[in-house]
Structure 1
Amino acid sequence: MIANKIITLKKIAFTATASLLFVSCAEKKMANSNSEEFSSWKKMDVVIKSIPETKFSNTIYNINDFGAVADGKTLNTVAFQKAIQKCAVNGGGQVLVPNGKYLTGAIHLESNVNLHLEDNAEILFSFNPKDYPIVHTSWEGTEVMNYSPLIYAKNKTNIAITGKGTLNGQADSTNWWIWSGGKNYGWKKGIPSQNDPTNREVLVDMAEKGVPVAERVFGEGRYLRPNFIEFFECNKALIKDVKIINAPFWILHPIKTNNMIIDGVTINSHGPNNDGCDPEYSQNILIKNCIFNTGDDCIAIKSGRDADGRRVAIPSKNIIVQNCKMVDGHGGVVIGSEISAGVNNVFVENCVMDSPNLDRAIRIKTNSKRGGIIENIFVRNLEVGTVKECVLKLNMFYNVYGSQTGNFIPTIRNVSLENINVKNGGKYSVWAEGYAASPVENITLKNVKIQKVDSIYRLKNVKNINFINTYINDQKVKSIN
């Protein structure tokens, strides 16, 4: 009897000790998780502090002094060029665009130049392709010799576009947009477009075969629309306060560019492929206080398409989005689909996304032709009104241009959403699809509330999706290992 009591007491003691150990391990795991999350956001703060600010001489170069005419009809390309060159040769400063309407072709910036628009200044960009010389650029993630972006800088340092004036690409269904081949943008059978057999797919095929970029000469007769603003291999750049409308193609395109701030920019452009901002192969990019009302993704982080992305092999990383408003667009913040060199360390916080025409809030899209490692994506403090399809979509089977399969299985891991409120969640709260050999891994939704969604989730080959204090249609959701 006494022996039995001793055994029982030992069992109780063992059970208590085991329970304490279990609780201790659980608390330690939670503490480590919280610590990792905290350290990730601390890393964001470190990145922001590391981005150097642009600085310019106080000398002003007024484009009117170089022959510019503000009648909206006279082509001022040479006046812009002269003012920018004079500014650069003299050590830099501000190239001033006074109030009025100025028609121009391509504007090429130089180091230490701040292109500044007065409040009622409007730059009208010509829609004559001959006003855009052939330069080294990129088109949908593939490098090419093509029409110059409307505003272009290559290998420049300390450059800026500032002021509250307007940059008007003047694109519509009678000019640039019709090249897309989209029936909604004026295209009809028999009209040439980027989709013709000798155009887009030829460029992609050249990249797959390793044809040098200098030999990928497109331009006239190929119908590949120019980007609006492209900073190519630049360092220390700023775009602040300007309004951008009616873009031919992608709107803000930092490519192979480091240390750039995009602040207070308003974009309103609903043409084909009118992504708001596409950082590509770029690092330390801060996008804040902006409004995106676009015909495609509001922000789409890129790193090259297929073989060309693997050739360049520069991941986009340390991309920060703060205090922005996303209105229309295919996605609020998107990663991909041109993503072959990978993306990591993306931080999105304090944004508002709300439109019946916004398809998704956060999206990652890739496939086995693209490949890429996409990891460490942190999102917090979002207010989402309405999304059509889903709040979070992670897709390894993105397919929009015919067959998109290959031997480059992608990786998607470590995606965290915290403090998210959604009023109308669309079809799914989370839609995630991976491969059996490469599941979508380590997804966390913490303090997330989603209302009016048709289904809780759609999952295929997903490992470790954690729902912490998360409610969907007022029902608490359990984690899935």
Structure 2
Amino acid sequence: MFRKISTNRLTKVFTVPLLALFVASCATDTKKDSKENGSSPMDTAWKQAENIINTVKAPTFKDKVYNITDFGGVADGTTKNTEAFKKAIETCHTEGGGTVLVPEGTYLTGAIHLKSNVNLHLNKGAEVLFSKDTLDYLPMVHTSYEGVELMNYSPLIYAKGAKNIGVTGEGTFNGQADNTNWWPWCGAGHYGYAEGTPAQRAPHNLPRLRTMNENNTPVEERTFGPGHQLRPLFFQVLECENVIVQGVTFTNAPFWVIHPLKSQNILVDGVTVNSHGPNNDGCDPEYCKNVVIQNCTFNTGDDCIAIKSGRNNDGRRVNIPSENIVVQNCTMADGHGGVVMGSEISAGVRNVYVRDCKMDSPNLDRAIRIKTNTLRGGFVEGVYVKDLEVGQVKEAVLKINTFYGIYENQEGEFMPTIKDIYLQNVAVKNGGKYGILIKGRPQAPAKNITLENVTIEKAQNVTSIENAENITYINTHINQQLMK
């Protein structure tokens, strides 16, 4: 049974040889390289992107299968299978690795913790339902919340310090978050929130965590969990190497969906994220290096893809930029942004490559977005976008904002820098309120922004640009106007 479904897409999980860790950062000086070899910055950039793609390969797993039903798994949708998952994963790991197989059926469980050399595979027709009981996500683990590390409820699927792990198949992970469970903690006046009940912005929740961040409180002392209202992540790998997430569907997430943190060599391939809750970002690599996100569909309640690198003091403490990230052949529907950098960006982001993507929804706010402020600081440099097809967005095709802030004062002493942003071969039907929207700082303007062969057929306003230098338009039209 398993061998039959392990052909086609899954085959490469078992057959692609594992490459050595790619340690050199790409594209550290694209302009210099371009001048030396006579090519354009985009040509050079995509050669470097190909190097990343060729390096980030799927891990291999032993050809041994551990069926969850052999460890007490019951597919009735009501029996908790937490111990069955735990035993199957531990046995697989202890015996040198392989595949933990979830056959067709509905399996209720608490938190699932993955280990090295284990591939968790969901057959077609398999659905993993995650318990609505918060106690099923204890004990607390080292995790994060909006770019700040803490001890909190376990993510629904979690791994720390593991190598060679996979989550693959054609089944569905259903977080079962809704207006009665997890989402009301957002406290935003919707998602089932009842006025007067505790929520994430109560003093003992986010304000307490923010203070701990400012004071550099050790992570192990930042304890939350029971008695607090900070929602768990859906899938998080922390300090992991060689990870594949392939083919599966994620829905009804409590918070961010796919969150690699401090990890390297990550392949997210053919995944569907269909989750419209609060802060339901699709995929958020943070402090990560060498990431490929491809062939995916994102239909989300927040950013489809958001590349991050820590919030405020935490980002400066960790000081690991997110870099060498390729997004290709993806489809974005609803979301606050298609591909976004920020707002948790204090350690910086560099070398981001986006190509052959489609974005189209009346509920998609922006296509490409960069957001930071002087509390976050950080930098964004080297963003290369080409062959993008946009049906419609609400606000802007490209938005750069260094005054980002909601709920609270976001002014500080850390001036962000943004430079070297390239868009090429971008076709847009409806660009929303602005074709291009840039709000830089007088002290640190956004620099070196190039739009080549960009056509925005309709926008309410052509551009709104403040504090930006060296904007170059090459064969670019907005509202039939040739931009100069």
Provide the TM-score with structure 1 as the length reference: 0.92
Amino acid at match of 2:42: E
Amino acid at match of 2:172: T
Alignment of 1:306-345 (within 5 A): 306-345=312-351
Deviation by residue 1:375-409 (Cα, 9 ceiling, x = unmatched):
00000001100100000000100011310000000
Amino acid at match of 1:203: L
Partner of 2:51: 46
Amino acid at match of 1:84: I
- In 1, the alpha carbon distance for the partners of 2:36 and 2:65 equals 55
- In 2, the alpha carbon distance for the partners of 1:402 and 1:212 equals 24
Amino acid at match of 1:92: G
- Larger mean CA deviation between 180-189 and 86-95 belongs to 180-189
Partner of 2:252: 246
CA gap of 1:30–1:356, structure 2 versus 1, over 3 A, is farther
- In 2, the alpha carbon distance for the partners of 1:371 and 1:76 equals 44
Deviation by residue 1:49-97 (Cα, 9 ceiling, x = unmatched):
1224210011100010000111000010000000000000000000000
Contact 2:385/2:424 (<8 A) preserved: yes
CA RMSD of aligned residues (A): 1.1
1:178 pairs with 177, 180, 184, which one?
Answer: 184
The Cα shift of 1:183 comes to 1.9
1:84 pairs with 84, 89, 113, which one?
Answer: 89
Partner of 1:124: 129
Amino acid at match of 1:70: A
CA gap of 1:376–1:163, structure 2 versus 1, over 3 A, is same
Amino acid at match of 1:229: F
Partner of 2:27: none
Pairing 1:192–2:198 present: yes
- In 1, the alpha carbon distance for the partners of 2:277 and 2:91 equals 35
The Cα shift of 1:372 comes to 0.3
Pairing 1:112–2:117 present: yes
SS at 1:238 equivalent: strand
SS at 1:188 equivalent: coil
Pairing 1:447–2:456 present: no
Deviation by residue 1:173-212 (Cα, 9 ceiling, x = unmatched):
0011001002220112111111111101110110110100
- In 1, the alpha carbon distance for the partners of 2:67 and 2:77 equals 17
Alignment of 1:78-477 (within 5 A): 78-133=83-138, 134-477=140-483
- In 1, the alpha carbon distance for the partners of 2:401 and 2:381 equals 13
Structure 1, unaligned stretches of length 5 or more? 1-28
SS at 1:184 equivalent: coil
Amino acid at match of 1:370: R
Deviation by residue 1:83-117 (Cα, 9 ceiling, x = unmatched):
00000000000000010000000000010000000
Q: Percent of aligned pairs with the same residue?
A: 58
Provide the TM-score with structure 2 as the length reference: 0.92
- In 2, the alpha carbon distance for the partners of 1:256 and 1:67 equals 34
The Cα shift of 1:30 comes to 9.4
Deviation by residue 1:221-267 (Cα, 9 ceiling, x = unmatched):
11100000000000000000001110000000000010010000011
The Cα shift of 1:32 comes to 7.5
SS at 1:88 equivalent: helix
CA gap of 1:425–1:31, structure 2 versus 1, over 3 A, is farther
The Cα shift of 1:36 comes to 2.6
- In 2, the alpha carbon distance for the partners of 1:175 and 1:303 equals 29
The Cα shift of 1:31 comes to 9.9
Amino acid at match of 1:297: D
Amino acid at match of 1:55: T
- In 2, the alpha carbon distance for the partners of 1:115 and 1:278 equals 21
Partner of 2:30: none
Amino acid at match of 1:169: G
- Larger mean CA deviation between 275-284 and 39-48 belongs to 39-48
SS at 2:237 equivalent: strand
Amino acid at match of 1:99: E
- In 1, the alpha carbon distance for the partners of 2:373 and 2:51 equals 32
Amino acid at match of 1:127: K
Amino acid at match of 2:180: T
- In 1, the alpha carbon distance for the partners of 2:193 and 2:316 equals 34
Pairing 1:74–2:79 present: yes
CA gap of 1:448–1:368, structure 2 versus 1, over 3 A, is same
- Larger mean CA deviation between 30-39 and 143-152 belongs to 30-39
Amino acid at match of 1:110: K
- In 1, the alpha carbon distance for the partners of 2:443 and 2:323 equals 25
The count of corresponding residues between Structure 1 and Structure 2 is 450
Amino acid at match of 1:207: N
- Larger mean CA deviation between 47-56 and 223-232 belongs to 47-56
Contact 2:57/2:267 (<8 A) preserved: no
SS at 1:185 equivalent: coil
Amino acid at match of 2:109: T
- In 1, the alpha carbon distance for the partners of 2:86 and 2:184 equals 29
Q: Determine which structure has greater relative contact order: mean sequence separation of CA pairs < 8 Å that are 6+ residues apart, divided by chain length.
A: 2
SS at 1:426 equivalent: coil
The Cα shift of 1:33 comes to 7.8
CA gap of 1:104–1:361, structure 2 versus 1, over 3 A, is same
Amino acid at match of 1:312: V
- In 2, the alpha carbon distance for the partners of 1:47 and 1:386 equals 30
